[in-house]
Amino acid sequence: MSGHVDAARAWLAQDPDAVTRDELTALLTRVEEGDATAADDLADRFSTRLAFGTAGLRGALGAGPNRMNRVLVAQAAAGFAAYLLERSDGETPTVVVGWDGRRNSDVFARDSVEIFAGAGLNAVLLPRTLPTPVLAFAVRHLGADAGVMVTASHNPPDDNGYKVYLGGADDGAQIVSPADAEIAAHIQRIADAGDVTVLPRSVGYANAAESLVEAYVAATAAVAPAPAGAEGLRWVYTAMHGVGWETVSRVLSEAGYPVPTLVEAQIEPDGRFPTVAFPNPEEPGAMDLAFETARASDAELVIANDPDADRLAVALPDADAEGGWRRLTGNEIGLLLGWRAARAAAAAREAADGGDTSAPDAAAGGDAGAPASLACSLVSSPGLQAVAEHYGLAFHATLTGFKWISRAPGIVFGFEEALGYLVNPGTVRDKDGISAAVAMLGMVAEARGQGRTVADLLQEFRDTFGAFASDQISIRVSDVSEIAGMMASLRADPPAAVGGVAVARIDDLLTGVDGLPPGDVLRLWLDDGSRLIVRPSGTEPKLKLYLDVRGASAKKARRRLEAVRAGAEELLAAAR
């Protein structure tokens, strides 16, 4: 324990934040008084550090290297600056920084931009609190070498994070290996030096012009200008206490959509997230206020963004659902938006080829030299592949995360089941809940103009491509070692059957499968074509299991899904 105490005292000496200094000082006092709980807390904070990976940094706010704080952020900024300079070939790198409305996001952003400028980089700070997609857009729009977004997206209220993008050949996408390890090595070198107070800082950074935000608004409004059916549309919007509404409202105005009824209690940024236990539209209860507002305003549709507006949730009136409203699954939204993108890509190809639709090509909206493609993470619905094949488009299944999806060759649309959608790859190479909302509003309004609803669109999809049904089982743990134990158990003793159906094949992605980079993922294929995927969450202490089936009808697919779920729950119980 003396080692942790010494490390904590050294940390105090370099911590510029009075709040975390007081927090750590009080904790040390309790440790010195023999408080065993305090000793465990200190050990948790100082026995390891938040790992910098392809998701950047993310964790709970607090003092110590295993928390998000100003010391850790300063180390990360200095390490990232060193990485950018190392790969710059003598040119001065440009890095742009954004932040959301979480606690300390503004402080972390300013620390970062001052350290970047102090290291000799061209550093640019976004003009104010803005959504993550605006930062992703800014990296490409400014021709920057890199971008940093201070956000923990939809994580619990006490978390914050540090998301990193690369420009140039990476085209504004999030980092992937080996960049993560190379950046982490530079960060560790800074941390080992032991005193962030000596890092050079400068206020000689630039503030991005408002024209950057205007350019994002124009590009996003162009995704789906309002059709005639938009007139009179009654809908509800919630920002989930996040930063989406200001930008969303400007996009709606430019695209011509009617102003929604707002969930007023959730519309302004508030890092305390006072009306939700967990600021994630997927979580039970998170959209209750939106449904209450929708019932009161006789709405036809509910749209929600998560706190940094890179995810989209959609809900519809449903007499069979509790409270009369049902949130669409991420797969349902993704398949509808993918269908929209596939039709547009096929039409563009036909126009470019003079009516010849025999083969996909780059003219359909993909990257130059690559066939137009649809892409989704391997845990998302296999229905997207059916859509791609129907329209003669290429298809790519990737590892989870938009750092992989956005890199699919020729991508015209990509999604993951966790409410993430990339609908405008020409401008944003990341999930974007605002452009996805505009695309969904366009679909809804077009159908409305034809006297149809989103439920009708879902039925037409099933009639055309088959009834795909998905479900998810998520186990949250307090000790992440439990997740490793369950994965090890499943590998050591794999099941012969799930839900009464034999397992036909098991793919262990640790060894690399189908050309995918290695990942801690198990994929089980059953004899009837059903699929189960087991993986640890990349951002939360959860083990996730994804279930996918296909049936001749929605009723048959649901029945099969229930049997697979029961079998999967038995499987997980045995692995714990």
Cα torsion angle, 114, 116, 119, 121, sign: negative
d(CA 42, CA 60): 14
**Domains detected in the chain:** 1-47 (no CATH), 51-208 (3.40.120.10), 466-575 (3.30.310.50)
Predicted pLDDT of residue 238: 98
pLDDT at 1: 56
Q: HSE of 547 in the Cβ direction (CA atoms, 13 Å)?
A: 22
Instruction: Determine whether 406 is an active site residue.
Output: no
Pairing of β 235-238 and β 301-305: parallel
Q: Give this prediction's pTM.
A: 0.93
pLDDT at 360: 42
Residue 539 has a pLDDT of 67
E strands present in 434-493: 467-476
The pLDDT value given to residue 90: 85
pLDDT of residue 519: 85
List the one residue out of 530, 532, 511 whose CA is nearest residue 520: 511
Q: Say which of 153, 373, 406, 435 is annotated catalytic.
A: 153
pLDDT at residue 366, rounded to an integer: 58
Phi/psi of residue 109, nearest 5 degrees:
-65, -45
| Residues of the chain below pLDDT 70 | 1, 355-368, 539
User: Taking Cα atoms as reference points, which of 154, 4, 116, 149 lies closest to residue 65?
Assistant: 4
pLDDT at 517: 81
How far is the C-alpha of 336 from the C-alpha of 377, rounded, in Å? 16
Which pLDDT value is given to residue 357?
A: 46
Predicted pLDDT of residue 351: 87
Nearest to 416 by CA among 511, 525, 512, 546: 546
H-helix or E-strand containing 191?
A: helix 179-193
pLDDT digit string, tens, across residues 524-574: 999 988 999 999 987 678 899 999 999 888 899 999 999 999 999 988 888
**Tokens representing residue 429 in the block:** 């190479």
As a whole number of angstroms, the distance between CA 152 and CA 58 comes to: 6
**Which residues sit opposite 537 in a β-bridge?**
none
Q: What angle do CA 444, 450, 451 make, to 5 degrees?
A: 85
